Homo-oligomer: A and B are copies of this chain.
Amino acid sequence: MAVYTEVTDDDLAAFLRGYDIGDAVTFKGIAEGVENSNYLLATTRARFILTLYEKRVAPADLPFFLGLMEHLAERGLSCPLPVKARDGEALKTLCGRPAALVTFLDGVSVRRPTAGHCAALGQALAELHRAGQGFSIRRPNALSVEGWRPLAEAARSRSDAVAPGLDAEIAAELDHLEAAFAALELPRGVIHADLFPNNVLFLGDRLSGLIDFYFACDDALAYDIAICLNAWCFEPDQSFNVTKGRALLAAYGAIRPLSAAEVAALPTLARGAAIRFLLTRLVDWLDTPPGALVKKLDPLEYLRKLRFHQQAEGAAAFGWTS
């Protein structure tokens, strides 16, 4: 949510000489995305986002992220398309950091999605999963089930200060989920893994684009659906809105039908998605110094969501209708 590396007009002009995209007309640092530096760049030809990759993104992962966006955009998905420099490369260096230009997408993020937005999301998610088939680079999901116990350990001695009994509740849930996830055999592929409302753009009710692929990885496709059920279908009072869940699941299934195993796994996957965001938020919460200008997200929001999923007797609780 900040600009960490300042790019001067001279830096920019030298950088743009490597591209055939015109001259800069507007160049503004924007408050967006994970911990990267992002600039909105308008040239005499078009608009772009320039990203300088800072500490949270591993340089070794960049060919995956940029290659994936190109793969998806070529298959018709509305997502940022990496722009190649004159030398054919999309991944460059600027101000000592890995940097890339991608096309700019119009649209505004919705804070409180309607059922209509959830349906549009479900359709786009299924299209993303279909378009991702055939992408050749692999990236394991470091924040899937194997990654949760280390996060819990990192927070362990301090998590009871956030909520009494939290550490024990997390430990018990992890015991359950590690066994449950080990038993799953589900269709896999490229997932977005962070498709929250701030990463989806709308023009009115029409979904105009998916952005921020920097958590994308290989995992069970239905796990992406479970992340979206968590991120899109709860009301501000933390109640699950089954109408929104039904809209999301039905629109998804119309593009990519769910298997019986995927439907049966939804409660487990939803619990997994809830604990994943609970744990990363918990660690960020505990590790962020007071006064830092980083927005801290409440981990307990996901504890309440987790408890809802624990009560779910099947996919019908999320609005699934066969």
Name the distance in Å between A49's Cβ and chain B's nearest Cβ. 9
Neighbouring B residues of A294 by C-beta, 8 Å:
293
Bound complex: CA of A112 vs CA of B9, how far in Å?
8
Given contacts A3-B31, A40-B30, A293-B2, contact A106 B10 (CB under 8 A): no
A154 at interface (Cβ–Cβ under 8 A)?
no
* A contact residues vs B (CB 8 Å cutoff): 1-3, 8-10, 12, 23-32, 40, 42, 104, 106-112, 202-204, 289, 291-294
In the complex, besides A9-B108, A10-B110, 11 extra interface pairs with C-beta distance below 8 angstroms are A1-B2, A2-B2, A2-B293, A25-B106, A26-B108, A27-B108, A30-B30, A30-B31, A30-B40, A289-B291, A293-B293
Neighbouring B residues of A31 by C-beta, 8 Å:
2-3, 28-31
Task: Tell me if B111 and A10 are in contact (CB < 8 A).
Answer: yes
Neighbouring B residues of A10 by C-beta, 8 Å:
110-112
Contact for A108 among B24, B30, B109, B110, CB less than 8 A: B24
Bound complex: CA of A281 vs CA of B94, how far in Å?
29
Name the distance in Å between A278's Cβ and chain B's nearest Cβ. 22
CB-defined A-B contacts under 8 Å, sample of 22 = A1-B2, A3-B31, A8-B111, A9-B109, A9-B110, A10-B110, A10-B111, A24-B108, A25-B108, A26-B104, A26-B106, A28-B28, A28-B30, A28-B32, A28-B40, A29-B31, A30-B30, A31-B31, A289-B291, A292-B292, A292-B293, A293-B293
Counted per complex, copies of this chain come to 2
Task: Tell me if B293 and A26 are in contact (CB < 8 A).
Answer: no
Task: Tell me if A3 and B3 are in contact (CB < 8 A).
Answer: no
Bound complex: CA of A30 vs CA of B42, how far in Å?
14
Neighbouring B residues of A108 by C-beta, 8 Å:
9, 12, 24-27
Bound complex: CA of A312 vs CA of B117, how far in Å?
66
Neighbouring B residues of A32 by C-beta, 8 Å:
28-29
Bound complex: CA of A292 vs CA of B292, how far in Å?
6
Name the distance in Å between A232's Cβ and chain B's nearest Cβ. 14
Bound complex: CA of A31 vs CA of B169, how far in Å?
40
Name the distance in Å between A279's Cβ and chain B's nearest Cβ. 24
Name the distance in Å between A42's Cβ and chain B's nearest Cβ. 7
Name the distance in Å between A31's Cβ and chain B's nearest Cβ. 4
Name the distance in Å between A163's Cβ and chain B's nearest Cβ. 25
Name the distance in Å between A192's Cβ and chain B's nearest Cβ. 20
Name the distance in Å between A117's Cβ and chain B's nearest Cβ. 10
Neighbouring B residues of A24 by C-beta, 8 Å:
108
Contact for A203 among B1, B25, B40, CB less than 8 A: B25
Task: Tell me if B107 and A25 are in contact (CB < 8 A).
Answer: yes
Name the distance in Å between A301's Cβ and chain B's nearest Cβ. 16
Bound complex: CA of A66 vs CA of B34, how far in Å?
35
Name the distance in Å between A293's Cβ and chain B's nearest Cβ. 4
Contact for A9 among B28, B40, B106, B111, CB less than 8 A: B111
Bound complex: CA of A112 vs CA of B10, how far in Å?
8
Contact for A1 among B3, B23, B292, CB less than 8 A: B3
